[in-house]
Structure 1
Amino acid sequence: MMICPESKRRLDEWTTRDVKKDITIPAEDPLSAPLTDIGKESTLDDYDEIAVECFGAAILRGMGWKKSEGIGGREKKFV
C-alpha cells in the first residue's frame, strides 16, 4: 500500500507532536459540592408539545442561547 507523501508527513507530525504527559486532576470531592435545584424534570408530554422544526432551537435555549446571539467561538450579535 502506498501512502501519499503529504499524508505521511502529516502522520509523522501527529506521532511526533509534543504531548503533555503530566495531567493534574484536582483532589476536590465532587460530591461535596452544594446541590442546586434545577426545576421540574421534563416529561415525554413536554417534548411532544414542541414542534420538530423548533426542537434544535429549544435545546439551544435550554443551554442559555438567546436569539439575538450568534453560535460559535466568536461573539456575534444579531438585531
Structure 2
Amino acid sequence: MGLEVVPNTREVLIDLYTKTLKEIQVVPEDEGYKKAVESFTSHRPKLIEKKLGCGQVEELIEEAQDELTLIGKMIVIEEKKWLVDEDED
C-alpha cells in the first residue's frame, strides 16, 4: 500500500516548508532540533527544482506534515516546562 498521488506536489511541499520555517521560529535558537529542521527544510525546496533523491515526493509531503505536528507538540511541552519552572521559583 503506497501513498496517494499528490498532483501539485511542488506547491504543497513549498507551502509546508514555508509553514515549518515560520512555526520553528518560536523554538529557542540554541536547540539542536531547531537548527536541524531549519537546515533540511531550507535545503529541500532546492531539491524539488533538481532531482528528488530523498524519496517519493508524497513521502516528503508526509514528512513535512509530521514535522509541523511535532513542532506544535514540542511548543506545548516547552510551555508546560516553562510554567513548572516559574512555579518553582
TM range (shorter): under 0.3
Structure in which a larger fraction of residues adopt helix: 2
Higher relative contact order (CA 8 A, sep 6+): 2
> Normalising to structure 1: TM-score of the pair?
0.26
Structure with greater Cα Rg: 1
